Amino acid sequence: EDQVTQSPEALRLQEGESSSLNCSYTVSGLRGLFWYRQDPGKGPEFLFTLYSAGEEKEKERLKATLTKKESFLHITAPKPEDSATYLCAVQAGAAGNKLTFGGGTRVLVKP
Amino acid sequence: DAGVTQSPTHLIKTRGQHVTLRCSPISGHKSVSWYQQVLGQGPQFIFQYYEKEERGRGNFPDRFSARQFPNYSSELNVNALLLGDSALYLCASSLFGDSSGANVLTFGAGSRLTVL
């Protein structure tokens, strides 16, 4: 059974204080690892897809990396508008496009 | 362009009642999936439909059912509601729904169900 674990559960940052979120996964036949951002009361918003170990993708202050066992989401010089819950999910094997999510990391960036 | 639209946005039911949630996918998307998100947790997979056929089912009781219509919209039905069914129900659509490659899912804003 696919498993995804995110840490930490919550992160409080000062504006400009860079940090990293961790996503550890155990799957059989990874097809893609996804990062989503979710604001309170809204649906997840797609950020990145990573396909193979060593791959990196960037978007503004966010950078996602992938190894064979985990993924990191680096937030560089965050701003208050980066405050959200960040969700990691995997698609694997022959399970259609089912996503298995981790529990998320709640990020609060204080000005 | 319209994204994934869900209705209703909020609803309150009592234990034992039935609920129907509706979802319209992005135009051209042929796969619709349903997820349950309990407060403070990540979304949990309920169903996937692709080309009007069920392609996957999560670990949910038979009280949960769904279907996809010829226009690719979808309904999620939950019978005999329990207090534990209170959650945000998310619909997601994607262009494809098979197991080749990685398919990006676009989520709607969700339907917030409260069971009293």
pLDDT at B101 > cutoff 80:
no
Task: List Cβ<8 Å contacts ≥24 apart for A108-111.
Answer: A108/A10, A108/A11, A108/A12, A108/A13, A108/A83, A109/A13, A109/A14, A109/A15, A109/A78, A109/A79, A109/A80, A109/A81, A109/A82, A109/A83, A110/A12, A110/A13, A110/A14, A110/A15, A110/A80, A111/A15, A111/A80
Q: Are residues A96 and B50, on separate chains, in Cβ contact within 8 Å?
A: yes
Averaged pLDDT for residues A65-91: 97
Nearest CA in chain B to A101: B42
Query: In the predicted model, what is the mean pLDDT of residues B84-102?
Result: 89
Check B43 against A101: CB less than 8 A apart: yes
CB–CB contact A97 B106 (8 Å): no
pLDDT at residue A73 is higher than 90: yes
Per-residue confidence (pLDDT) for residue A8, from 0 to 100: 97
Q: Which of A83-87, B30-34, B98-102 has the lowest mean pLDDT?
A: B98-102
Whether residue B41 is predicted with pLDDT greater than 80 in this model: the reply is: yes
Measured in whole angstroms, how far is the alpha carbon of residue A56 from the centre of its chain? 12
For chain A, percent helix, then strand, then coil, each to nearest 5? 5, 60, 40
Q: What mean pLDDT is predicted for residues A74-92?
A: 97
Q: Is B112 on the interface with A (CB under 8 A)?
A: yes
Tokens at B95, concatenated: 């262009």
